[in-house]
Amino acid sequence: MYWLLLDVNNVCWKSWYALRELSHKGKPTGGLYGFLRSLSQLGGRRTLPDGCAFAFDSEEGNLRAKERPGYKARRAKDVPAEEKRAREGVR
């Protein structure tokens, strides 16, 4: 049995930084585009997964963020909106 586990937050951030200029109607879309592109690339594989699971960062935060308030403090504020759209899309 073959399952695909996708870290959506990681894909969104990596894509957002790679495609920072990509936007639609003034809203950044690089992170969401990268996430959807990673899903679409599955269609070209010889062996498709038996299932998919999507991992997201907790909205409540984590231990590292509580112990180090500066953790991820320099991240852009636009990406969480794209992560939210990706989360809504896989439900």
pLDDT at 3 over 70: yes
Q: Can you tell me the mean pLDDT for 33-59?
A: 82
Q: pLDDT confidence of 15, banded at 50, 70, 90?
A: confident
Helix axes 79-89, 8-18, angle to 10 degrees: 130
Q: Can you tell me the mean pLDDT for 18-40?
A: 85
- Alpha carbons 67 and 55: distance in angstroms, whole number: 23
Q: pLDDT confidence of 64, banded at 50, 70, 90?
A: confident
Token pair 């930084």 is found at 17
pLDDT at 78 over 60: no
pLDDT at 49 over 70: yes
Q: What is the CA radius of gyration of the chain?
A: 15
pTM: 0.63
- Alpha carbons 70 and 68: distance in angstroms, whole number: 5
